Amino acid sequence: MELLYLSYQDISSLSIPLSDIIRVVENAFRQKGEGLAEMPPKPEFILDRTHLFMRCRLTSRVAMLLA
């Protein structure tokens, strides 16, 4: 898997107006609140001295399917 890292300069060079960013973020939160968008589970990796653990939270939709 390839990871694309965008630096601050990469993002700022796009010259996206702050008003557009605010509008898009507000719309995303509105859709989430209305149940029209879903935040996928995010794996969390925990490393101690001898083990690597991966923990992943279930979304409400997955939890309902499993119930």
Opening angle at CA 35, ends 30 and 39, nearest 5? 85
Whole-structure pTM over 0.85, yes or no? Answer: no
Per-position pLDDT tens, the chain of length 67 = 788 888 989 988 999 999 998 999 999 889 988 988 877 776 777 777 777 666 666 555 544 454 4
What is the torsion angle, in degrees rounded to the nearest 10, for the CA atoms of residue 37, residue 59, residue 22 and residue 4? Answer: -110
Provide the residue ranges of all domains of the chain, joining segments of one domain with +: 8-66
